[in-house]
A and B are shown apart, each in its own frame.
Chain A
Amino acid sequence: MKRRTFLQGTLASGAIAMAAGSGLLAPSGVLAAWNKGAFEAKGLSEAMKNSLGTDQVADSSDIKIKAPDIAENGAVVPVTVTSNIPGTESISIFAEQNATPLSSVFKFGKSTDGYVSTRIKMGKTSQVIAVVTAGGKQFKSQKEVKVTIGGCGG
């Protein structure tokens, strides 16, 4: 309740921004805080280690990545991941050549399909890697997406 009051309070919105930015305020409450170490990791290996605990992940042909072979606009690259691995618990999407490769982690409820579709920014041509966690194990698939105009804004 204290957190909610603090958030709704009119005092020092600057303090809220600062607290939220430094990770002191965890809006998700009892659930795990946003994984700063994973999202700010600068290379694929570090991003995988910080988000998955390892960068050694077996390939699986049961994970399908649908993404354009050539993305005309790197700011908006549609990526759809379908996992046919039973018991899929989460899907993480990495863009290998992005300055910070981890783009997103989708955790699923018990009745949720191993499927997600979204749009990501890609700075340049790169492998798009989808990692599925299922039954405590991890599997991956990847697809190269060529980017003609980079989308991270520089």
Chain B
Amino acid sequence: MAKSSIKIRAKLKGDTVTVKALIRHPMETGLRKDKKTGKMIPAKFIQTVKCESAGAMVLDADWGISISKNPYLSFKFKGAKSGDPIKLSWVDNTGKSDSTEGKIK
């Protein structure tokens, strides 16, 4: 099974979970030229990112070409307990997707 492109850390402090995620993805804008071939490198960038925890939607993000390569993402939410499941997934403009599941610590 392929290794996930997503590293995720979800920590509960007080009543708030802070999620930090790092996604390995080229986030190619489609505006760069390959110096060797002279051809434009096709766009390949994450368009949607979703996060859910214990059955509830936490984050639903739409991205464009201006998000940096190997995107970093952090957000916070309440109402969770330690041990709750958390799932983060993305889909890019080529239809490729990946997801990862973890637990809130």
Contact = CB atoms under 8 A, between A and B. Distances in A.
Interface of A: 7, 16-17, 19-21, 25, 27-28, 31, 34-35, 39, 75-78, 80, 95, 98-113, 115-122, 151-154
A128 to B, nearest CB: 11
A153 B29 contact: yes
Interface of B: 16, 29, 31-32, 47-48, 50, 56-69, 71-80, 91, 93-95, 97
Given A103-B66, A104-B61, A28 B48 contact: yes
Contacts, number: 130
A7 B93 CA distance: 13
A151 B68 contact: yes
Contact of B59 (A31, A75, A112): A112
B95 A17 contact: yes
A86 to B, nearest CB: 14
